[in-house]
Structure 1
Amino acid sequence: MTSDGAEHAVRQAVQGTLDDLGTPLADVVFVVVDLETTGGSAAESAITEIGAVKVRGGEVLGEFATLVDPGGPIPPFITALTGITQQMVTAAPRIEAVLPAFLEFARGCVLVAHNAPFDVGFLRAACAAQGYAWPAFPVVDTADLARRVLTRDEVPNCRLGTLARHFRSATEPCHRALADARATVDVLHGLIERLGSFGVQSLEEMRAFAKTPSPEQQRKRHLADGMPAAPGVYLFEDARGEVLYVGKSTNLRTRVRSYFTASETRRRIREMVGLAERVRPIVCATGLEAEVRELRLIAEHKPRYNRRSKFPERALWLKLALSEPFPRLSIVRECRDDDAVYLGPFGSARVAEEARAALHEAVPLRQCTQRLTPRLVERGRARSCVLGEIGRCGAPCEGREPPEAYARHVEAARTVMEGDVRPVVAAAQVRIDRLAVEMRYEEAAAQRDRLAAFVRAAARGQRLAALSRCAQLVAARPAFGGGWELAVVRYGRLAGTGTIPPGANVWPYVDAVIATSETVFPGPGPAGSALPEETECVLRWLDQPGTRLVEVDGDWICPVHGAESLREWLDRAYAPVEPEDRVRRGGRPLR
């Protein structure tokens, strides 16, 4: 054997040190923590409960549990979710008294949480607020681990409740901190058992495993080759050309590459990457064009791995058909080019029903579903209902209200739907005040929710309608690297975009973009010729600071007494306060 070969054999025979093996998982002390809070943002919400369990080698070493006075009211929906009421935390310690005890309990341990960024984010924010340096705990996220080791055939999702059932946890998660922490302990132990089949035996290997791209992600990295560093839309396609996923980015190269790294932990997206055979880029002139193209492509292809904006046709509208002899409010899925007034869009039938109920409180339109004609009324064949008997309807079906009188109600409803929401607000205000005086706060809150549903839909529809009435609107916004971004909007639809280089004469570029923009014809309903989400994208772009109007063909205005003026009231009405105060704060929107 040569000297080089002998030296190589000696190097191969050298045994690694124990340090090279890492910390065996059986020796690691984990502190599994769960928090309950007043909301989802650490910047705006506070902790209401901390629960933690200290474990090592499958043995429980100790538990930590306490309610925390958040220093403010607990929103009703949080109480309904967790069962933690304002009375329960009144005598609880504040976070400044609880935090040192928890940090001591967890000192020198590895923090474990399900969806760890949420819990760790609140703890870090609490440390910063109280002047404590964050101890920089090693952190393990059981949700991330579950996405790596479990398949969709085993569990439909990686929620804590689902995983607790899968691993037969002795504790059922119930949105209380200690119970959820105990359930997470069982999930952690189940995941550690599964990690053994991947050869993961140490803490270091476990943390690295969670950060490693899946084999499919590593194998498909070449799909990101050749992506342009420009704004645009990207389409993941399978071998048959079916569009699996549509996304947008201001930098296609960076965004598409991220799908093949460990930063992409969403299980459904990793599954999509495994099916994808190509990524097709569509370069756009501006970020606005990319955003709009994404919406149009999602609506067209309905990719199975996209979750939002797939079914714009499912939007709901309130319709007042003026061509009928006795028009009524109906909920429809389509705006047509007919003699009707539309309000919306609504995201659900429940919200549409609430808005319709608010409008009925102000205007006594008939609520029956029969198609009512003067001939049916004259012959006495129309069906009557109880609303006429109790004075909630003029009973045109029985001939008690002639068509001329009913027409005044129709005109009032039309005025409300097209701009002046004051009658609806005033009618709701009367009922809210009366119920609040009678201390019937839940009913008053229900009335307020009806009014809010109407106001939101009216504000949205009026904003959409204002833009869709303009035959052409040309606007410019400062570009990130200098120069300008241009947008041409016709009847609410983005018809063309372009850019102007820094220092260039703007008018030739403006004329060129206008000349090459899409021809658009007026469309029905508040959204006009575009999807409502597309028009809202354009409106957000126009609302950006520094945007300049270059040309407006039409009247881009909202009604003086429209719902836009009630935005501040909505914010105050839904601020997290006590139920009775919540009604009162939201109770006088016009004063």
Structure 2
Amino acid sequence: MRHQDTAAGVGHQPTFEELGTPLRDVTFVVVDLETTGTRAADSQITEIGAVKVRGGQVLGEFQSLVNPGREVPAFVARLTGITTALVATAPAIDLVLPSFLEWAHDCVLVAHNAPFDVGFLKAAASGLGYAWPGFPVVDTVPLARRVVTRDEAPNHKLSTLARLFRAQVTPEHRALADARATVDVLHGLLDRLGAMGVTHLEDLATAADPVPPDVRRKRHLADSLPEAPGVYLFKGPGDEVLYVGTSTNIRRRVRSYFTAAERRRRITEMVRIAQHVTPVVCATPLEAAVRELRLITEHEPRYNRRSKHPERHTWVRLTDEPYPRLSLVRDVRPGAAHIGPFGSRRVAQAAVDALHDALPLRQCSLRLAAVSRAAGSPCALAGMGRCSAPCTAVESPDAAYATVARVAADVLTGDPSPVVQALADRIGRLAAQERFEEAGQVTERLRAYVQGAGRAQRLAPLAACAELVAARPAPAGPGQLPGADGGWELVVVRHARLAATAVTLPGQDPLPVVDALRATAETVDAPVPPAPACHPEEAALVLSWLESPGVRLVHTSAPWSLPVRSALSHADLADVSGEVRQRITTMAPC
């Protein structure tokens, strides 16, 4: 076995995910194997040869014959010159492989037809019980297909490419010689790829895929961006915001837009228009997600698809009238029960239909006085028992309808069991009659109602809370063990809106930071619960964070709680028979 390093101090080589590494700083290990056959499942390695290079300079070489523990087939001996006698005294793979893996540690593996060589190395590691280190791998074959035309070379074999790039060593089916030839081929390919804008490690990871040259050339837009969590804004020629995104590493994420990893046509169109990218560094991932949402709402970028218009969310209101009814509205008013918000009017209407299926609420939009001098004419729904017909009451208010209205208010703001049970019974009857399509429709209505009621019941306590301060252990920093003291993520929430956030240093007392946050947090006017004082999606982000594991409440100005028997307890429609649900989903005709 022979290996040597001709340069000391080989630096740490990041993986492809750690973007932004110039190719000149990447340490490559170009490897080639000779084997007894073509399949790792039933063949063995007979020779390993490798060359370590960085910045065009050879740092070291590794070469060893390997005793395969079996005879070398005659055709392999004729091709490679490696005979059974030659490898009889060579070390076995259990001695050679650990040395190679240690020598190649923290490098990027390169091979010509990499699946073959890496496949044998992985199989050998698995056979010895070693975990594969997970080297980043570069295959020179697809790179050659990308930049070498048929006019230049009839094929992409190593021998053909070695002649094209005037390699100093001729491939001869011996591992070290072939690895040396592959080094020259790699450098030749990198020279051509550099002219196409492939100058960093992450570019090389996707260089074999076609990327429009005008898109790849714009990768410089990410060069000055920070490697920090936050929000990024692609801006056009007139400084208009084209697209807003968020990431835990702004520079890494923005660079990915200029590689083949980005396949969305509309985003590729956006990148062609973009002139620069503005970063907004954020203290926590929650702040980044909230800022992204606010910026989308503010600028309405044409290439963002998520909700930009909170005013378009729909609520279901039980009106404040002598004889209340359900109404679809855009805003929340005091003195009335609401559920929602719903992302679309269609889903909100489904929730209304669910309530009408269970309760005999009036569905007309007439204005009815509490006391009428003359009875009105009942509608068809009254004749079907689906409306208690308060329009027919004279001389005194309709006490029966008052009871129905109280039940409706209760199921909107509290326990939804009456509606859930009524609709579950109806679904069961429909399924028993094999009316599966109707049963499925009722199920969708029930689901819309339960989700809307649950959403309002989650929002209402937080929207009513003037101030809530919470803390969560911050993730351990680089070099720290999992679970180590990484400080605290702190948030101040006012009426469901993120008003301030910060991260304390490891070992730092968080309470003075909490006091400073509360003193400097954004002033938020009180909304009408259950509507939050922010975009409903922002409130959902805040709630998700508050309900995540490890969060501790530091201060709250009002109780933050949910009803014991709330709609959330029915979020999975557990009260609808599992057997009935299965029959609806599996037996319904196509």
Q: TM-score, normalised by structure 2?
A: 0.60
In structure 2, C-alpha distance between the alignment counterparts of 1:568 and 1:404, rounded to whole Å: 35
Are the counterparts in 2 of residues 464 and 492 from structure 1 also a CA contact under 8 Å? yes
Go from structure 1 to structure 2 and tell me whether the alpha carbon gap of 1:434 and 1:583 turns closer, same or farther (over 3 Å shift). Answer: farther
2:308 to 310, 315, 331: 310
Residue 346 of structure 1 corresponds to 342
In structure 1, C-alpha distance between the alignment counterparts of 2:257 and 2:410, rounded to whole Å: 50
In structure 2, C-alpha distance between the alignment counterparts of 1:216 and 1:524, rounded to whole Å: 51
Mapping 1:532-547, distance limit 5 Å: 532-547=536-551
1:469 aligns with 2:464: yes
Give the number of equivalent residue pairs: 380
* 1:501 shift after superposition: 0.3
Residue 523 of structure 2 corresponds to 519
SS at match of 2:340: strand
Are the counterparts in 2 of residues 325 and 403 from structure 1 also a CA contact under 8 Å? no
In structure 2, C-alpha distance between the alignment counterparts of 1:287 and 1:224, rounded to whole Å: 20
In structure 2, C-alpha distance between the alignment counterparts of 1:225 and 1:398, rounded to whole Å: 74
2:567 to 541, 563, 579: 563
In structure 1, C-alpha distance between the alignment counterparts of 2:276 and 2:377, rounded to whole Å: 61
* 1:434 shift after superposition: 2.5
* 1:438 shift after superposition: 2.9
Are the counterparts in 2 of residues 237 and 276 from structure 1 also a CA contact under 8 Å? yes
Q: Name the stretch that deviates more: 303-312 or 287-296.
A: 303-312
In structure 1, C-alpha distance between the alignment counterparts of 2:576 and 2:506, rounded to whole Å: 43
Residue 114 of structure 1 corresponds to none
* 1:583 shift after superposition: 9.9
In structure 2, C-alpha distance between the alignment counterparts of 1:576 and 1:436, rounded to whole Å: 7
In structure 1, C-alpha distance between the alignment counterparts of 2:542 and 2:579, rounded to whole Å: 29
Mapping 1:160-559, distance limit 5 Å: 211-322=209-320, 324-335=321-332, 337-374=333-370, 377-378=372-373, 384-399=378-393, 402-480=397-475, 481=477, 482-559=486-563
Letter in 1 for 2:242: L
Go from structure 1 to structure 2 and tell me whether the alpha carbon gap of 1:570 and 1:264 turns closer, same or farther (over 3 Å shift). Answer: farther
Are the counterparts in 2 of residues 448 and 583 from structure 1 also a CA contact under 8 Å? no
Go from structure 1 to structure 2 and tell me whether the alpha carbon gap of 1:492 and 1:236 turns closer, same or farther (over 3 Å shift). Answer: same
* 1:260 shift after superposition: 1.9
SS at match of 1:378: coil
In structure 2, C-alpha distance between the alignment counterparts of 1:571 and 1:255, rounded to whole Å: 44
In structure 1, C-alpha distance between the alignment counterparts of 2:579 and 2:521, rounded to whole Å: 44
Letter in 1 for 2:419: V
Question: CA offsets per residue over residues 382-430 of structure 1, 9 Å max, x none?
Answer: 6642112222212122327834432222221111111111111121133
In structure 2, C-alpha distance between the alignment counterparts of 1:352 and 1:567, rounded to whole Å: 16
In structure 1, C-alpha distance between the alignment counterparts of 2:291 and 2:341, rounded to whole Å: 21
In structure 1, C-alpha distance between the alignment counterparts of 2:424 and 2:398, rounded to whole Å: 29
Are the counterparts in 2 of residues 341 and 525 from structure 1 also a CA contact under 8 Å? no
Letter in 2 for 1:490: R
SS at match of 1:211: coil
Point out where structure 2 has 5 or more consecutive residues left out of the alignment.
1-138, 140-145, 147-204, 478-485
Are the counterparts in 1 of residues 206 and 261 from structure 2 also a CA contact under 8 Å? no
Are the counterparts in 1 of residues 411 and 418 from structure 2 also a CA contact under 8 Å? yes
In structure 2, C-alpha distance between the alignment counterparts of 1:515 and 1:575, rounded to whole Å: 55
- Taking only aligned residues, the RMSD between alpha carbons, in angstroms, comes to 3.1
In structure 1, C-alpha distance between the alignment counterparts of 2:381 and 2:397, rounded to whole Å: 17
Point out where structure 1 has 5 or more consecutive residues left out of the alignment.
1-137, 139-144, 146-206, 585-591
Q: Could you say which structure has the larger radius of gyration?
A: 2
* 1:441 shift after superposition: 2.9
Question: CA offsets per residue over residues 142-193 of structure 1, 9 Å max, x none?
Answer: xxx9xxxxxxxxxxxxxxxxxxxxxxxxxxxxxxxxxxxxxxxxxxxxxxxx
Letter in 2 for 1:369: S
Go from structure 1 to structure 2 and tell me whether the alpha carbon gap of 1:576 and 1:451 turns closer, same or farther (over 3 Å shift). Answer: closer
Go from structure 1 to structure 2 and tell me whether the alpha carbon gap of 1:555 and 1:220 turns closer, same or farther (over 3 Å shift). Answer: same
Letter in 2 for 1:315: H
In structure 1, C-alpha distance between the alignment counterparts of 2:319 and 2:347, rounded to whole Å: 20
* 1:582 shift after superposition: 6.8
In structure 2, C-alpha distance between the alignment counterparts of 1:211 and 1:368, rounded to whole Å: 61
Letter in 2 for 1:298: I
Q: TM-score, normalised by structure 1?
A: 0.60
Question: CA offsets per residue over residues 314-350 of structure 1, 9 Å max, x none?
Answer: 211101122x222210111222x33322111112222
* 1:555 shift after superposition: 1.5
Go from structure 1 to structure 2 and tell me whether the alpha carbon gap of 1:253 and 1:451 turns closer, same or farther (over 3 Å shift). Answer: same
* 1:578 shift after superposition: 4.3
In structure 2, C-alpha distance between the alignment counterparts of 1:268 and 1:571, rounded to whole Å: 44
Higher share of residues assigned helix: 1
Go from structure 1 to structure 2 and tell me whether the alpha carbon gap of 1:245 and 1:572 turns closer, same or farther (over 3 Å shift). Answer: farther
In structure 2, C-alpha distance between the alignment counterparts of 1:404 and 1:582, rounded to whole Å: 45
Are the counterparts in 2 of residues 469 and 555 from structure 1 also a CA contact under 8 Å? no
In structure 2, C-alpha distance between the alignment counterparts of 1:386 and 1:571, rounded to whole Å: 31
* 1:459 shift after superposition: 1.3
